[in-house]
Amino acid sequence: MKHFLTINDLTNLDLAVAEAIALKKDPYKFNNIGENKTLGMLFFNPSLRTRLSTQKAAHQLGIHTMIMNFSNEAWALEFENGTKMSGLRSEHIKEAAAVVSQYCDIVAIRAFASLTDKEGDEAEKVIHNFAKYASIPVVNMESATAHPLQALADAITIKEHTKIKRPKVVLTWAPHPKALPHAVANSFTRMAQKLDVNFVIAQPEGYELDPKITKKIPLYLNQEEALEGADFVYSKNWCSYTDYGKVHPTEDSWMLTAEKLKKTNNAKFMHCLPVRRNIVVADDVLDNPNSLVVEQANNRTFSAQVVLKKIVENG
Ligand code: CP
């Protein structure tokens, strides 16, 4: 694997999940593999889990890390070619990516969607330009349209808690006061299509995800109907895709509660975190032993470790 930009960059998801579960049992087994290697971690947006788990994953492989909050510590980047750079942007991506490649062996980048420029977000301006102009592998720590490290951690978590053949997995939209990107939902959807699960999505009208990603997945406008018999329920907000970046007036009734989960097969609850309590999901779900949210966060270390290990092994 050269770059890890989407979950599709893993040639075999099941094998990657199995490898992550093995690493979890023996995290330091390959602690020399990254000797004398450096991972640069560039953040254009905040993070708790991604930053700490990726750093921990690198350390467990013997890889050094350098971290930069790009949005407030680095020069503002210009991405257009042929531009007369007379404005606020002081450094072109061509030099920035080439220079980072002198100091690091791998670069991991977090750069969220603008939610104002659909075309620019879908072009993945930041991460694709780093991949284009850097001479080292690039790892996606959440880009405009994808969060593959989270999706891999979620696949690990589902595998660890699956007790029946072909469990039912429901991704349900949730209310939120802010417009949020589609990255987590997109990557979870891509990932779930690769697992041997019965996967459905529930969302209010107007919140359909990109049809190029959802393909033929059953979509429910009735959340309670979708939840019936579920083994895993993943709750997540996203803004409108068709009316890009907008939050329509919606029913708060889409918040997940313990009462709603009574219709499920004693479902495990999942969320990528951070989560707004009693907006997205009620306390009685998050504080229930069936909540996997902290385990998902723990599995972020092993999803990152598998990805970094594959990149280092690839040379
Ligand atoms: N789930 C996730 O990516 O968390 P952070 O935004 O805190 O990194």
d(CA 111, CA 145): 10
d(CA 292, CA 272): 10
- Backbone dihedral angles phi then psi of residue 73, each to the nearest 5 degrees: -110, -25
Give the pLDDT confidence score for residue 315 in this predicted structure.
Answer: 84
Give the pLDDT confidence score for residue 93 in this predicted structure.
Answer: 98
- What percentage of the chain carries pLDDT values higher than 90? 97
- Record the pTM: 0.98
| C-alpha 198 chain-centroid distance | 21
Topology (CATH level 3) of domain 150-292: Rossmann fold (3.40.50)
Q: Which residue, 155, 149, 234, 238, is CA-closest to 192?
A: 155
Index of the ligand 1 atom closest to the CA of residue 272:
1
CATH of domain 7-146+297-313: 3.40.50.1370
Identify the helix (H) or strand (E) that includes residue 148.
helix 148-161
Torsion of Cα atoms, 84 then 87 then 90 then 95, to 10°: -30
Q: What is the DSSP letter of 65?
A: E
- The full set of domain ranges for the chain reads 7-146+297-313, 150-292
**Which residue has tokens 């939610």?**
115
Index of the ligand 1 atom closest to the CA of residue 48:
7
pLDDT-based confidence at residue 98 (cuts at 50, 70, 90): very high
d(CA 166, CA 151): 18
Q: 240, 247 in Cβ contact below 8 A?
A: yes
pLDDT in tens, 67-89: 999 989 999 999 999 999 999 99
Give nearest CA residue, ligand 1 atom 1. 272
Give the pLDDT confidence score for residue 169 in this predicted structure.
Answer: 98
Q: 169, 234 in Cβ contact below 8 A?
A: yes
Pocket lining for ligand 1, CB < 6 angstroms: 47-50, 142, 150, 272-274
For residue 247, what are the β-bridge partners? none
Q: Which residue, 16, 184, 43, 20, is CA-closest to 107?
A: 43
CA of 256 to the centre of ligand 1 (A): 20
Structure tokens that stand for 305 in this block: 């470790």
d(CA 184, CA 146): 6
Structure tokens that stand for 55 in this block: 């750093």
